[in-house]
Structure 1
Amino acid sequence: MTEFSASDAALEGFHLIRRRWRVVLGWAGFTLLALVMIVVLSAVLSVVASAVGGGGDAARNPALGVAGVIVLCSFLFTQAILVAGVFRLEMRPEEPAFMHLRLGRDELRLLLVWLITITGAWVLGWLAAVIGHALGAGGVGLELLAAVLAIYLGLRFALAAPISFAERRIDFLRSWRLTRGRVLSLLGMSALSLCLILLVTLTVFVALVLVALGFGGLDGLSGVFGGSEALQSHPGIFLLAFVIQIVLAPVVWTLGMAPVAAAYRAFADGDGPKTEPA
């Protein structure tokens, strides 16, 4: 088994961006295209659902609820394509794909893994809320315990996503086996990765605020925080903030998912299918 370093794994996203920065930058174009398609899909489904259900909100019009689920799944699927691109760069860089992005079974498996994970987390939260409500004041401690349990289970099943890509199967039990005795290492890796992502995001945000202040003074901040109406008052700052968000999205996914792929390679070495980094 390859020796695993939580700090080295947490930095794998930076190494990947350094090696393939053109590819990661190109993913911003896919992010923009996906955003446009989702906005159009949401608008079309909203009109259709309102016509079918007679208007109203989601509680009174089930068609709007169904439309919302479709839009959510579409959003998750576009993110799964990006994550599969990160995994492909890390584990199968020679595989034919446009900018290492494809639309196929790998991406569908990732989507299913996420849906199963989200459903499991929702069920766990619902049970904690129901039991906590039944126990009254003692339920606060139970909800805290449920949060700790959710983090533990999340770490034990953290490798389900790279397993679904590398081994082409959904196997949560294999993730459970591979992470046995390595929860603290994964916790350290995840915490460091999260801190690095927050640091990058905060740095970009502060730089954007300084630019807005430099070009528009305090009123220029409305171009960053003002929402869509800021497009009229400060179009340049608004468009700059929008472009930065589009570019930052694949960077954040790379910083978050590359460490998981590195952990899988380290734990699976000698215990299953082997993959090589880019």
Structure 2
Amino acid sequence: MSKFSASDAAFSGFRLVRENLKTIAVWAAVMTVLSIISNVLAIQFFGPKLELLLGYISDNANPDPEEVARRAADLAPLMPWLLSYSLIVNGVIFAALNRLVLRHHDSRLAYLRLGKEELRQAAVWLLTSLVLMATLFVGSAVSGFLGAMGGATGAFLALLGLVGSFCAMIYLAIRLSFAPAVTFETGKVTLFKSLPETKGLFWSLLGAYLLAAVMSVIVVLLIWTIVSAIGLIASGDLSATGKMLRADTSSLKAYFTPAGIVQALFSGVISILTTLIVFGPAPTIYRELKGGAPDTPTTGGW
């Protein structure tokens, strides 16, 4: 395997957007439609309860965890639907991303499908999430046990336990970051086969992923700054502009306002852009390390 440039890899998501504008536009449109449908269904059946939770979190700088848990408990029936929706959407999007990078010639339907490859990607993301959550849970449990010792020593050990569990989760997330690409390439759900592929690359991957995450935050802030500026110029109402950042979910009538529609439209675009910027480097690096290249040269633009 060859080495790779962390700084160059961090910007691979931007290159994917620039070189596949038409495809990305289709993805953004599909994500926007799915997001609106999902929001409409959630608001139709859980609108008032959802608004109470979101309103409480947004209106309080330091929300009470017990109060958040109490309000979230009212939305328990919504959780299975949200989980299923997230798994299917992630499976489709990440299969499309891997197909775009690793099998560029297979561009039918803008790389979007719904089949075995998408189900395998959903399974990988579910397994990865469970492993990372289990790591954090075990670390938190150990930290709580150490904290029970009391005194300055117990507090210090508890802090070390929390920091250690967080570092372990980050380490695993990076070492397992090639799992979707390996799964896509082999046609089998794999998780820990990513470990030999990322051996000796932890710090380079960490640098690439951190830089990509920072770029993603900058892009999101830039987009919302532009949207807010447009809203302020159009309405002259700063408070109304702020509502574009979070639509009213208390009812469908409250949701389908200019602010709600703008929020829904841009949330789909932001979702696709952040996915490409943050997660695009992994399959790109994997392809480069394998000595591969896109099947066909990109023509750029539309």
**TM-score interval, normalised by the smaller of the two chains:** 0.7 to 0.9
Q: How many equivalent residue pairs?
A: 262
Measured in 2, the distance between the counterparts of 1:233 and 1:168 equals 41
Name the residue aligned to 1:186.
205
Q: CA deviation at 1:146?
A: 0.7
> 3-state DSSP class of the match of 1:14?
helix
Match of 1:133 in 2: 144
Alpha carbons 1:38, 1:75 under 8 Å: kept: no
1:202-242 CA-to-partner distances (Å, cap 9, x unmatched) read 11111112112212232332442463279769943442232
Q: What residue identity is the alignment partner of 1:164? A: T
Structure 2 distance, partners of 1:107, 1:227, is: 30
Letter in 1 for 2:262: L
**What is the CA distance between 1:153 and its match in structure 2?**
1.1
Structure 2 counterpart SS, 1:95: coil
The alignment yields a C-alpha RMSD, in angstroms, of 2.9
The CA distance in 2 between the partners of 1:152 and 1:114, in whole Å, is 16
Match of 2:54 in 1: none
**Residue in structure 1 matched with residue 274 of structure 2 by the alignment:** 252
SS at match of 1:113: helix
How far apart, in 1, do the equivalents of 2:76 and 2:254 lie? 33
CA shift in 2, pair 1:229/1:170, >3 Å: closer
The answer on whether the counterparts of 2:32 and 2:264 sit within 8 Å (CA) in structure 1 is: no
Question: How far apart in 1 are the matches of 2:285 and 2:246?
Answer: 41
Contact residue 87 and residue 257 of structure 1 kept, 8 A: no
**Contact 2:10–2:212 under 8 Å retained in 1:** yes
Alpha-carbon contact 1:212-1:223 (below 8 Å) kept: no
Contact 2:13-2:277 within 8 A present in 1 as well: yes
**2:228 and 2:189 mapped to 1: Cα distance?**
43
Q: Contact conserved, 2:216 with 2:274, CA < 8 A, in 1? A: yes
Q: Is the 8 A contact 1:224 1:238 kept in 2?
A: yes
The aligned counterpart of 1:53 is none
**Corresponding residue for 2:178?**
159
* Aligned-residue identity in percent: 24
2-side partners of 1:228 and 1:266: how far apart?
45
Q: Contact 1:83/1:254 (CA < 8 Å) preserved in 2? A: no
Q: Deviations over 1:180-219 (max 9, x none)?
A: 1110000010011101111111111111121122122323
**Residues 35 and 268 in structure 2, CA contact (< 8 A), matched pair in contact too:** no
- Are 1:206 and 2:225 matched, yes or no? yes
Equivalents in 1 of 2:78, 2:255: separation in Å?
A: 33
Which runs of 5 or more residues in structure 1 are unaligned?
47-56
Deviations 1:130-176 (A, max 9, x none): 21111112212101011111111111111001111122122233210
C-alpha separation in 2, matches of 1:226 and 1:268? 43
Residues 71 and 44 (structure 1), Cα distance of their counterparts in 2 relative to 1, 3 Å cut: farther
Structure 1 contact 223–233 (Cα < 8 Å) conserved: no
Q: Distance in 2 between matches of 1:195 and 1:67?
A: 32
- Matched residue, 1:81: 92
Q: How far off is 1:66 after superposition?
A: 6.7
Q: Residue 128 of structure 2 corresponds to which residue in structure 1?
A: 117
Structure 2 residue runs of 5 or longer lacking an equivalent are 47-70, 148-154, 297-302
Question: Counterpart of 2:284?
Answer: 262
Q: State the 1:41 CA deviation.
A: 6.0
